[in-house]
Chain A
Amino acid sequence: MIPDLVPSLLAWRPFIDPLDAHGTWYLLLLPLVFFISMVWKAVRLPSLENYWRQVLLMTAQGIVGMVALALTSYLLVQVYVRIASGG
């Protein structure tokens, strides 16, 4: 497995070529939510005393929200639509 990866890693140029993350793309939502929380809390909080706590809380809320939305979509498509169509 490792010898197979070597040629593609050697050819890969960071920030120019895309990352080969097609199988793990959903993990990239974690840094996305974290950076969004960092900027949002930096702008919105009146005081930065509990800044990191607030950032981590918002990150967790974002992740839980996305998982809930994904589950809801799954249930809607796989269960509700099947029941509604009489299948």
Chain B
Amino acid sequence: MTQPQQPHHEPTRLSVPALVLAWLLPGAGHVFLGQVRRGVFVAVGVLGLFFSGLFVGGIDVVDSGLVVSNTFRKVTGQTANRQVTPDGDAIWFVGQAFTGPVAFVVDVVHQHRFKVIDPAEPRVLRSARPDEGRDPVTGMAVIGGKPPVTKSLARVNEIGTLFCTLAGLLNLIAMIDAGWNHRPRRGEPGYAGGAT
């Protein structure tokens, strides 16, 4: 009796550079392994989703509520050591963080350029109210003027946040695929070129 032929599986190996590159720039981990087409598709999908989310919901959808004190001091000239941002969406930012440094850059810009310091409580950094503007030098909320950013609300906010968070979670899957990859790599038998 003949035994049925077992399917051949390449062993899965960890590639730390591919894992790190996949976080730094979506798709770069696959490109590093020689799977160029796959990497380009991942990059277009993840970054397309992330920037579509920003386009729909505005910068308000990426809001960790975390403030880098040194950057805060440099930008605003305020000397407070710790800031509190009561209106952040930290739980959503956990997913968005997997998109890579781009999510952190957008978040830092949001916290330091588009939020205002509460005049009544200088430790509090928050979104400006509709009747408030932002002093460009101190970052303080000032009555009158226009808010530095329009707050996104309702469905538009929900869908924008969903786009950006799913971009991060999909990149997490792509990072795992690049880090523990079983497909033949550049220079190995069975490698079919950058088209894989």
Q: Which residues of A contact B (CB under 8 A)?
A: 14-22, 25, 28-29, 31-32, 35-36, 38-43, 46-48, 51
* Contact residues, B101-150 vs A (CB, 8 A): 114, 149-150
Q: Does B156 lie at the interface of the complex (its beta carbon under 8 Å from any beta carbon of A)?
A: yes
Q: Does B89 lie at the interface of the complex (its beta carbon under 8 Å from any beta carbon of A)?
A: no
* Contact residues, B167-196 vs A (CB, 8 A): 167, 170-171, 173-174, 177, 183, 195-196
Known: A35-B163, A39-B173, A43-B177. 6 other contacts (CB 8 A): A18-B153, A20-B156, A31-B48, A32-B49, A39-B42, A43-B42
Residues from chain B with Cβ under 8 Å of A48 in the complex: 37-38, 41, 195-196
Bound: A17/B149 CA distance, A: 6
B22 CB, nearest partner CB in chain A, Å = 11
* Contact residues, B46-86 vs A (CB, 8 A): 46, 48-49, 51-52, 54-60
Q: Is the CB of B58 within 8 A of A40?
A: no
Residues from chain B with Cβ under 8 Å of A17 in the complex: 58, 149-150
A-B contact count (CB 8 A): 98
Residues from chain A with Cβ under 8 Å of B30 in the complex: 42
Q: A36-B166, A39-B45 are in contact. Are A22 and B155 (CB under 8 A)?
A: yes
Please, which residue of chain B has its CB at the minimum distance from the CB of A38? B45
Bound: A52/B150 CA distance, A: 37
Q: Does B95 lie at the interface of the complex (its beta carbon under 8 Å from any beta carbon of A)?
A: no
Q: Is the CB of A18 within 8 A of B56?
A: yes
Q: Is the CB of B42 within 8 A of A42?
A: yes
A21 interface neighbour in B38, B41, B49, B156, Cβ under 8 Å: B156
Bound: A28/B57 CA distance, A: 11
Q: Does B25 lie at the interface of the complex (its beta carbon under 8 Å from any beta carbon of A)?
A: no
